[in-house]
A and B are shown apart, each in its own frame.
Chain A
Amino acid sequence: MDLLIKLLNDALFSSIPAVGFAMVFNVPKRFLPYCAMAGALGHSVRTLLLHFHMPIEWATFIAAAIVGVMTIGFAKKHLAPPLMYAVAAIIPMIPGTYAYNTVIALVQLTAQSEVSPELTAEVISNGLKTVFILGALSVGLAMPSLLYFRTRPVI
């Protein structure tokens, strides 16, 4: 029951950023609900997988692949490029805090007179997480066209 509430909370609060950033990218108004749907589904799938102690990179990869398949369905229905829905939908999964922690630690490291091992460790671990989560996101999104639509266009 707790898990269900957590997932619903997650879905609601990840659909808001999906719509907000879709508006920054000027997605036409009639497609905004689909961006919200894809964003909510992607982020709550990732939370569910994280709940079962999957590493965050793999959870992100699977969630992004699901978003990729779902947006290809939308794209076929509306004759619009699938990336239009997908990019707004994965915005809530972008590793913003990891990136933030990396660069803040990096700046602190620059300001110090000697290299401290704690800050170095923080830069390396957060930086690696950022790069690998970003890679998982975009390769996951590209999965349908890499595996299934190899020689023909999606729409």
Chain B
Amino acid sequence: MYADTQNDITRQVVRVAQLLLAYGAESELVEEISQRLGQALGLASVEISISSNSLVLTSLVHGRCITTTRRIREHGINMTIICELQRICLLTEKGIYGLNEVRKRVSRIQPRAYPKRYLIPMIGLSCGSFCHLFGGDIMAVLITIFASSIGMFVRLSIAKRHFNLLVNFAVTAFITTLIAQLGYHFELTETPRLPMAASVLMLVPGFPMINAISDMVKGHLNVGISRWGHATLLTVSSVIGITIAMQIGGLFL
């Protein structure tokens, strides 16, 4: 194997690992896919070291090492891309894809999201179902659906303008809570506390928390801890939004 081929393969493998991490895969999966892809393309071994915002990858073949580092910027969770990369890895392993096909498929990957007009009503209904499961009455469910749909609209609009995620969560939590406490002020429902709890549930960073714990359980402690820290920060910033809204509504203190 010539040096430029090894260079080329290493570039594709590190690109796959970078995409996987940027779109929210857990570390164990990243390590597994990049090692399997590298070996399928003809490398002797691939070693990878992941930290909270970068990754270092070394490929070894015929006694020659290439080490390369990539910076990772979070892009939010996109399972379609992770699924596609996993499929590329499996097809390469079966010998259907060679290096050229891998390069073509990886360069063609584009993040696509569901359109707003489906996402907003679905999140509204989801939070409404949470409220129903907690035992809220029909008016409470309606308030929850309304508040969380508006909240989701705000969240998507802010995200489109590339604000910091923490600012986004605080503003969204503020507006959502402001609407959800209508039940208190107009005595529409018997259970006014539930819409406030249920409508901000769309802000709970469930995916980063699960990823964090499963990283830590599988031995990637530093990535796990940094993801846990990020999830905690997100929770704290949405709490700040909730608190300001509750103080404006005069609900405690």
Q: Which residues of A contact B (CB under 8 A)?
A: 10, 13-14, 16-17, 19-28, 31, 79-81, 83-84, 87, 90-92, 94, 96-97, 99-101, 103-104, 106-108, 111, 134-135, 137-139, 141-142, 146, 153, 155
Contact = CB atoms under 8 A, between A and B. Distances in A.
Contacts of A20: 122-123, 125-126
Given A17-B129, A96-B204, 10 more contacts: A16-B126, A16-B128, A21-B126, A23-B122, A26-B81, A26-B113, A26-B114, A87-B206, A92-B129, A138-B214
- Secondary structure at chain A's binding surface: helix, strand, loop or mixed? helix
Looking at B25, B112, B128, B239, the one whose CB has the most chain A CB atoms below 10 A away is B239
Contacts, number: 134
Nearest to B228: A134
Nearest to A100: B197
A79 B87 contact: yes
B210 A27 contact: no
A24 B114 CA distance: 8
A100 B200 contact: yes
A137 B214 CA distance: 10
B77 interface: yes
The 7 closest A-B pairs by CB, nearest first: A20-B126, A138-B213, A17-B126, A20-B122, A13-B129, A96-B201, A103-B239
A28 B218 contact: no
Contacts of B209: 94, 134, 138
A24 B86 CA distance: 20
5 contacts: A17-B126, A22-B79, A28-B80, A137-B213, A138-B213
A108 B252 contact: yes
Interface stretch (B55-63, B98-106, B130-138): B130-138
A83 B198 CA distance: 25
Contacts of B29: 81, 83
Contact of B129 (A14, A104, A135, A139): A14
Contacts of B51: none
A155 B62 CA distance: 29
B133 A104 contact: no
Q: Chain B, interface size: which category?
A: 35 or more
Contact of A142 (B119, B214, B243): B214
A87 B205 CA distance: 11
Contacts of A10: 133
Nearest to B82: A81
Given A96-B204, A103-B239, A134-B213, A79 B125 contact: no
A99 B125 contact: no
B115 to A, nearest CB: 10
Contacts of A28: 79-80, 83
B43 interface: no
A138 B122 contact: no
A25 B77 contact: yes
B97 to A, nearest CB: 14
Nearest to A16: B129
A24 B206 CA distance: 12
Contact of B78 (A13, A26, A111, A135): A26
A36 to B, nearest CB: 11
A81 B253 contact: no
B213 A135 contact: yes
